[in-house]
Structure 1
């Protein structure tokens, strides 16, 4: 299939593939203070829970047992008190272990895996050959083919450059960004520049397996804050407009 040229502009689609946060972010100091305040207000204004009512019943039963004429029933003898339950819960908690928020990839500095920065959004950037002898860190892109819609071109771009093993969910049919880059002089085919339409997608599963090693030289999963050493400033400012940390 032939590539699309519109009014002497080459049309490209690029994909901003995101891995959304896996765990919640650590609370800031003001968030912690506000949470403590809300918990205090809720505790002071709340009704007794079933467990608290059970604890009061246990105390009442304990007082009744002190009487000389008290006769314990079978149900009362087998009753599990609120304190018994609390001891059981504390034992279960002590025997439980929680997964660390810091992964092996965080410790080793491995940027090629999504198993890092679990509380942050990661974006796939690739070291792509954009012209003979010219490689840049960009969002994966390719030229639109004849008969494709922009959305179809974006889907093909991701699978053809990064491998069919990736499963991604695209966010709508409209692009989230646009970039126009004029050439210093018209190309041999008369084109005066290229227009890139950016689409957003969220990673569902799979790993990046570049299908074309000549085009995609390398790849990384980066947070927005990590773009600067790799991504050219003008391009970074452009794509940062539609990459939001929530």
Structure 2
């Protein structure tokens, strides 16, 4: 750096000398004016150099936030229920009559003609009336029961199962070791030379979850970032910490086949209670609020 500054100063001083010794220096270009201004600054400035700064070594990691979308819609709140009823009533009042309603009106007229003793239209006389069909359908519908929103895995709080929190987004966490301690974090691994970060993220999922679980990484670029320092015993070996580039992936189908893997599928509230606080905060910045 010192040599570069010295060379630049010499060139500027030479231009300044040519200007002072040139009789036709009344007409000069803008570039020469700029050089002259810099030269004056260079002559008056005192250049100093700072001692060399030792760069810290950081490991580059790719992590993947695998999210399962809700299977069922969340329960409606009071306002949403009232608005739903309003839309249903509005649609009913503005809608045209369907075939069943038109047929029912025709049958009602036939019944009135029967009571009056008049001749009936043979084309309208049917074996099953609309009212008979409505009664049979209502009886069948009364026997149907909706499945419970609460599953057995919800009751037992089986965090390894995807058959829980059906109306929530679930995120995959695995147990990672950091020195002597271990924490539940996103699946992650170190970047290897020759890989893109996207390829590292794909390798993370394959090595962690196996081939049975299918996911789709949403972008070639990471959606989030987090960095942390290693424990002291690891920093003494060279690397100061890790810079983690977080990719977002959508769960599609399949299960985790790695039987030795300690993992959990957690919702937004459970994430903050399980992950390190700062890591969770960085993760929440890239997740959509529910």
Instruction: Please classify the TM superposition score into its range, dividing by the shorter chain length.
Output: 0.7 to 0.9
Cα separation, 2, equivalents of 1:227 and 1:167: 22
Q: Which residue pairs with 1:105 in the alignment?
A: 153
Cα separation, 1, equivalents of 2:264 and 2:231: 30
* Residues 1:229 and 2:273 aligned together: yes
Cα separation, 2, equivalents of 1:93 and 1:140: 46
* Residues 1:85 and 2:133 aligned together: yes
* Count of aligned residue pairs for this structure pair: 235
Deviation of 1:181 after TM superposition, in Å, equals 2.4
Cα separation, 2, equivalents of 1:114 and 1:101: 14
Structure 1 residue matching 2:174: 3-state secondary structure: strand
Deviation of 1:71 after TM superposition, in Å, equals 4.6
Q: Which residue pairs with 2:166 in the alignment?
A: 118
Matches within 5 A, 1:1-246: 8-71=57-120, 73=122, 75-131=123-179, 133-183=180-230, 187=235, 190-210=238-258, 213=260, 216=261, 218-246=262-290
Cα separation, 1, equivalents of 2:94 and 2:124: 32
Contact 2:225 2:245 in 1 (8 A): yes
Structure 1 residue matching 2:83: 3-state secondary structure: helix
Cα separation, 2, equivalents of 1:230 and 1:9: 25
| Structure 1 range deviating more: 96-105 or 180-189 | 180-189
Structure 2 residue matching 1:208: 3-state secondary structure: coil
Q: Which residue pairs with 1:3 in the alignment?
A: none
State TM-score, norm by structure 2: 0.74
Deviation of 1:166 after TM superposition, in Å, equals 1.2
Cα separation, 1, equivalents of 2:117 and 2:240: 103
Structure 1 residue matching 2:149: 3-state secondary structure: coil
Query: Alpha carbons of 1:219 and 1:204: their partners in 2 closer, same or farther (altered >3 Å)?
Result: same
Cα separation, 1, equivalents of 2:84 and 2:92: 12
Contact 1:224 1:243 in 2 (8 A): no
Structure 2 residue matching 1:136: 3-state secondary structure: strand
Cα separation, 1, equivalents of 2:120 and 2:185: 80
Task: Give structure 2 stretches of 5+ with no counterpart.
Answer: 1-54
Contact 1:121 1:245 in 2 (8 A): no
Cα separation, 1, equivalents of 2:219 and 2:129: 55
Choose between structure 1 and 2: higher helix proportion.
2
Deviation of 1:238 after TM superposition, in Å, equals 0.9
Query: Alpha carbons of 1:136 and 1:69: their partners in 2 closer, same or farther (altered >3 Å)?
Result: closer
Cα separation, 1, equivalents of 2:127 and 2:199: 65
Structure showing greater Rg: 2
Cα separation, 1, equivalents of 2:265 and 2:230: 30
Cα separation, 1, equivalents of 2:222 and 2:138: 52
State TM-score, norm by structure 1: 0.87
Aligned Cα root-mean-square deviation (Å): 2.2
